[in-house]
Structure formats: C-alpha cells, structure tokens
Amino acid sequence: MSVSDATTAVTAELAARDDMIVCEGVNKWFGDFQALDGISAVIKEREVVVVLGPSGSGKSTWIRCINRLEVHQEGRIVVDGVELTNDLRNIEKIRSEVGMVFQQFNLFPHLTVLDNITLAPIWVRKKPKRETEELARSLLERVGIPEQAEKYPGQLSGGQQQRVAIARALAMEPRIMLFDEPTSALDPEMIKEVLDVMKELATSGMTMMVVTHEMGFAREVADRVIFMEDGQIVETGTPEHFFTSPEEERTRLFLSQIL
C-alpha cells in the first residue's frame, strides 16, 4: 500500500492540508521478530487517525517510533517536516512538537500535578514559571480537574491521572498528540472521562493519532481508521466505510470478534 492509496480514502479537503506525519516503508525488527513491515501512511494536519488491530499487531510500536521511543531500522519517518534520524537535535525538536499519552500514564510520582505539567515547559521551552503555572491551571480546567493541582499522582484515580497526563502533554503546546492505548489501564467507569477530553481535543483541531480498542470513539471521532495486523497496514478508510463495509477478510474477522 502506498502513500497515494492511503490518501485516496480521505476527502479532497483533507488532501489539501499539510502533511504532519509521513511514514514511508517503515520496517522494524525486535531481534528476529519483524514488528513493523513496510508501514506507509500520511497523516494530515488537524486529522484524527485511530489505529486498530489485535494485540501484537505493531500499533504501539508504530506510534512509539513516531517520537523515537523506538528506533525504526528501515524507511523514513518525517514529522512536521523534520526527518527522524539519529541526529539528537532533530529528535529533541520532534519530541517537543509531539505530545504523547501512555497506557500506564507514566506521571512523575514524586512531583505534584502542577509540577508534572510545568516541568517540561519551564526547562525545555524555557518559559517563565508564573506564565507556565497559569497555563497549567487552565489546562487542568480544560481536562476537568482544576482542584487537583497541588496533589500527587498517587492520590488521584486512574482517570484523573490520565487526564493529568494529557494536560502534561498539552502544556508543551504540541502540534501532534499521540495516544498509546490511553484507556486500556482504566476501570470502565473512568474511560468516559478520558474519552470526553480526547473528543474535546479532537474538535479543537489537534492532529491526533490514537491507538485504542474503543470502537465507539473510533466511530464517533476519527477522520480515518487504520487497521493493522502482523506489523502491516491491512486497511485504511473512513469510520463508516471501515465499520460497515470493510474490504479485507482479516478486517471483517477482527470486527466480528470485537463487536
């Protein structure tokens, strides 16, 4: 599947936007195991892409390659016009442009919520402390937990922690947000509060790439759904196309198991 194929599925309006993430023939191995097998895709500005697939299909590996938490061995990844190479400065630049939300939240347990959020803007973006704290409080407002600023992550529920993690990523004012199974470690009653924040973020025009098992979210919010299996992109399409009339047999099988 080539870049042009991937883009035919989206509207002409989408095609006219800038490319935010471009992957061309990305291959990655863990030892002998090939985790990514010729991944090629383009993600446009303000686009919300949901990556689906059975576990072990390489979705998380792919998303982690995009901000270089994993190193791909072949192919190109270009993020916002900067190619990911071993050059440290490129990696630093991309990481400050790309926000990431993890399955296990990965908040810093020894820092308050406020410090978790302000640490990177102050030390990476070199912003004044007061300004950053105001920004952090407004972000906490945005994710719906303004009253938790002085607490420690261990004192919050999983859903609250994940929302702090989103606020932490947003504090860097990223152009792209990556979500690596953001709701998988959450109790069912907390999933909605996190998804609501993500929906709001999507409506605000953030470029988002989301690995998730939340089909409802994919159907409602995604501009495009990418289905992966065995390290390959199997099928790409709009949510209606994907959930109602998938072309590939493997996609149908996956959907029948999950829906």
Partner 1 sequence: MGLPMDPVAANVDAVEPWAGEAEPAQKPEEPSLSARQWVRQNLFSTPFNSVLTVVFGLFSLLVARGLLNFTFSEEREWDAVRTNLRLLFTHAYPEEQYIRIWVCVGTIVVLAGLSVGLLAGRGRGVSMKKLSLNLIGVGSAVALGVVLREPSVLKDADGEVLRDDDGVLRESFAAAMADRWAWWLAAAVLVGAGAALWHLLGDERRRKTFVPSVEMFVALVGLLVASAWVYPWGHYAFADGEFIAEPGRTVAMTTKLPWTVMWVLLIAAIATGRQLRRAGAGGGVRVALNLAWLLSPFVLYWVVLRDPALDWGRVATVDIPLAVLFAVGGAAVLWLLTDPRIGELGRIIATGLVGVAAFNWVAAFFGWYSMLQKVRLSFLLLALAALLAHNFAGERAQRLRLLGGWAAVTAVFHYMATIMNTPSTVETPTEALIGGFAVTVIVAVFTLLFSFPLGVLLALARTSKLPIFRVLATSFIEVIRGVPLITILIFCAVILKLFLPDGMSISLIAAATLGYTFFSAAYLAENVRGGLQSIRRGQFEASDAVGLTGVQRTVFIVLPQALRVSIPPLVGQMIATFKETSLLAIIGIFDLLRMANSVIPAQTQFLGVKREGLLFVCLVYWIFAYSMSKHSQRLEKKLGVGER
Residues in contact with partner 1 by the rule CB under 8 A: 67-69, 92, 95-96, 98-100, 102, 104, 106-112, 119-120, 123-124, 126, 128, 151-155, 168-169, 172
Smallest gap from Cβ 92 to partner 1, in A, equals 6
Count Cβ atoms below 10 Å from residue 259 Cβ, excluding itself.
7
Smallest gap from Cβ 132 to partner 1, in A, equals 12
Calculated CA dihedral for residues 116, 214, 48, 108, nearest 10 degrees: 10
- Answer whether 96's CB lies under 8 Å from 172's CB: yes
CA distance 77 to 138: 33
Is the CB of 103 or the CB of 238 nearer to partner 1? 103
What three-state secondary structure class fits 175?
coil
Is the CB of 40 or the CB of 132 nearer to partner 1? 132
Instruction: Look at phi and psi of residue 72 and say left if phi exceeds 0, alpha if psi is from -120 to 50, else beta.
Output: beta
Is the CB of 31 or the CB of 256 nearer to partner 1? 31
Smallest gap from Cβ 163 to partner 1, in A, equals 15
Smallest gap from Cβ 181 to partner 1, in A, equals 13
CA distance 152 to 155: 6
Is the CB of 92 or the CB of 247 nearer to partner 1? 92
Smallest gap from Cβ 171 to partner 1, in A, equals 8
Is the CB of 14 or the CB of 69 nearer to partner 1? 69
CA distance 10 to 242: 12
